[in-house]
Each structure stands twice: as structure tokens, then as C-alpha cells.
Amino acid sequence: MKIQDLALNTKNTWCHGCTNFGIEAAFKMAVAELMEEGEKLENFVVVTGIGCNAKIADYLKLNTLYTLHGRPVPAATGIKLANPNLKVIVFEGDGDAYDEGIEHLIHAAKKNTNITVIVHNNRLFALTTGQFTATSPKGFIGRSTPQGSTEEPFNPLALMLAGKASFVARGYALKTNHLKDLIKKGIKNEGFSFIDVLQPCISYFNNIEFYNQKVYELEGMNHDYKNFDKAWEKAREWDYGKDAEKIPIGLFYSSFRPSYESFVEEREKPKSISTILSARI
Ligand SMILES: Cc1ncc(C[n+]2csc(CCOP(=O)(O)OP(=O)(O)O)c2C)c(N)n1
Ligand code: SF4
């Protein structure tokens, strides 16, 4: 499978130079490599919400489903439950994931639904031309906050760690190879995989220079991703504010626990009459 074979011949309407292209490239590379390792193309399903990010569904020659704004996670959960053989990947924006659909994200992490959620975090509602979201920095000036947002951003990595996600990572849209590796690991993880991707919107919040100066990779830094306390410490190194000494990207935390689907599968298995009767006593 070549990466070009995953492209649909549709008109691309992302702004020229949008960093969403980096996420698309990383994802295609991840799928191509997973297929070389034996995965079947028909087993990948991409689920999106609404936004610039969601247009990725228009550009991929894969099974895709557009859902409502903020609702791709429950749709993905249903797909995975109906057919556990599928690799279900959600793409959503920070507005979709951390504002409109925040409850779904937290509960999918808690349930340990076996899906991978990739958040294009440009830190605003981009398709609707720049309203503030939960990860916009305090003081952010945009369409809905002309005098500057008064709210502190929250830290989605800390939120997902507290929410018991079994795989928590952060990538950068302009570090495509690194992101490809994270996406592959996330898809292989047997449980809820969360990847926040720093995705500068060059039209409404271009912070490429800021990230280029601050971002460093955790890989090769002796970070112990199995240690929750270390993961928490690293996640708090930057709280999505205006400034930071350094911004770590990579796999922050990964720990196995049985997925939601595995419990459901066990529960639905046909049982002998003696097992049913003994459970009633
Ligand atoms: C329930 C609902 N609320 C609002 C909208 C309008 N809307 C469409 S796209 C969008 C912005 C999406 O922002 P985000 O999820 O951050 O994705 P991005 O465009 O930044 O990739 C909004 C508010 C909608 N379609 N549905
Ligand atoms: S508005 Fe921003 S996120 Fe949307 S396509 Fe343009 S650069 Fe990309």
C-alpha cells in the first residue's frame, strides 16, 4: 500500500499551508505501515465531528463517517461495539472535543472504549473563523472575545490522565514522523487512546514560531510512560497558557486495563444453564 493510494481525488479546501496537512500525512503513513504489518484497509474506520479538521474524512480513501459537532466519540463507541474487529479512529477539533463534546471524551476515557481519538488542537473554533475554546490562552482575542478571553485554558492531557485514559500522548502537526509513530501506537493500544495534536491555524492563531522554539520530544529523555506521577508531572510542564519554558510531546502515559468492549463481549457470551442458575442463587 502506497500513501498515495489512501488519497481521494476530492477538492481540498483547507487553507494553503494549513498544518492539518501534517496530521493527514502522519495518519496516512501510520495506516500504510500498519497495513504492511498485516492490518486490512477495510478494517479502518474514521469518524469525525464538524470543523476544518473533520474535512479529513473527505480526503481519505477509507471508511469514514461524519457525525454531529461534538458527537464523534459516541458514534465511534457504537461502531466498535458492533464490530470489535474494526480499528476506529476519531478526528475532532479542540472545540469539538473539549467544548461541545467534552462529556463524551471524559466518559470514553473512563470506560476505556477501544478507540483512538486524535484532536487537532488549534486552540480555537477555526471553521467558524476564530472563537475561543477551552484551550485558548487567557486574553485570546477572537470573534467572540474582542476584548480578550477572561478564562484560563484547561490542560487536556491532565484531564485525560485524571479521567483514567489508558494512553495519553501529545504530538505536533509539523513533526510528522513523530506523530505517525504516536498514531500507530495509539491504534495498537487495546483501550482508549488519546492524542492531542498541536495544530497551529495559520489563518486565525498562527503560533508555529512559538511551538518550533519550545517543543521537544519525550522519546530519548528517559521518560517513564508507565509511571502515572511522572506522566502527570510532564503533562503539567505546560498548561496551555501563553508561555512555557518548554513543551513536551510524545507518549506521556500508557497502562493496560481491559477495554469496555472486552467486558461486553464476555457478558454476551452464551452461558450454560448451570452458570445462569448458580448466578441467581
Ligand atoms: C452543535 C453545533 N454547534 C455549532 C456548530 C457550528 N460550527 C461548525 S464548525 C464549528 C467550529 C469547529 O471548531 P473545532 O471543533 O475546534 O474544529 P476546527 O474547525 O478548529 O478544526 C462550529 C462552532 C455546529 N455545526 N453544530
Ligand atoms: S482556518 Fe485554520 S485550521 Fe481551518 S483550514 Fe484554514 S488554517 Fe487550517
CA dist 84 and 78 (Å) reads 10
User: Residue 172 has what pLDDT?
Assistant: 98
Atom of ligand 1 nearest to the CA of 97: 15
Locate 99 and state its grid cell: 467544548
Locate 226 and state its grid cell: 508507565
The answer on pLDDT for 177 being more than 70 is: yes
The answer on pLDDT for 256 being more than 80 is: yes
Q: Assess whether the C-beta atom of 160 lies below 6 angstroms from ligand 1.
A: no
Task: Go through the chain and tell me how many residues it has.
Answer: 281
How crowded is residue 263: how many other Cβ atoms within 10 Å of its Cβ? 12
Average confidence (pLDDT) over 7-13: 95
Locate 181 and state its grid cell: 509513530
The answer on pLDDT for 280 being more than 80 is: no
Tell me if residue 219 falls in helix, strand or coil: coil
CA dist 63 and 75 (Å) reads 14
Average confidence (pLDDT) over 4-9: 93
The answer on pLDDT for 153 being more than 90 is: yes
Locate 263 and state its grid cell: 467486558
What are the pLDDT digits (tens) for 101-127?
999 999 999 999 999 999 999 999 999
Per cent of the chain over pLDDT 90 is: 93
User: Residue 276 has what pLDDT?
Assistant: 76
User: Residue 61 has what pLDDT?
Assistant: 97
Per cent of the chain over pLDDT 70 is: 100
Locate 27 and state its grid cell: 495518519
Locate 47 and state its grid cell: 469518524
Tell me which residue has its CA closest to atom 2 in ligand 2: 201
What are the pLDDT digits (tens) for 263-279?
999 988 888 888 878 87
Is the Cβ–Cβ distance between 259 and 190 less than 8 Å? yes
Is the Cβ–Cβ distance between 145 and 137 less than 8 Å? no
List the CATH number of the domain containing 43.
3.40.50.970
CA dist 127 and 108 (Å) reads 25
Query: Strand pairing partners for 119?
Result: 92, 196
Average confidence (pLDDT) over 87-97: 98
> What domain range is 54 assigned to?
3-280
Atom of ligand 1 nearest to the CA of 53: 21
Locate 4 and state its grid cell: 498515495
- Ligand 1 pocket, mutate which of 24, 59, 69 (most atoms under 8 A from CB): 69
Average confidence (pLDDT) over 258-266: 94
Tell me which residue has its CA closest to atom 12 in ligand 1: 51
Q: Assess whether the C-beta atom of 19 lies below 6 angstroms from ligand 1.
A: no
pTM of the model: 0.96
For the chain, the average pLDDT equals: 96
User: Residue 32 has what pLDDT?
Assistant: 97
Locate 271 and state its grid cell: 452461558
What band does 72 get if pLDDT is binned at 50, 70 and 90? Answer: very high
What band does 39 get if pLDDT is binned at 50, 70 and 90? Answer: very high
How many domains would you assign to the chain?
1
∠177-181-184 over CA atoms, to 5°? 135
DSSP-derived secondary structure for 165-191: -SEEEEEETT-HHHHHHHHHHHHHSSS
What band does 281 get if pLDDT is binned at 50, 70 and 90? Answer: low
- Ligand 2 pocket, mutate which of 13, 16, 20, 125 (most atoms under 8 A from CB): 20
- Ligand 2 pocket, mutate which of 197, 203, 208 (most atoms under 8 A from CB): 203
∠145-128-209 over CA atoms, to 5°? 70
Q: How many helices (H) and strands (E) does the chain have?
A: 11, 8
Who contacts 225 (Cβ-Cβ below 8 Å, separation ≥6)?
Answer: 218, 231, 251, 252, 253, 254
Tell me which residue has its CA closest to atom 4 in ligand 1: 69
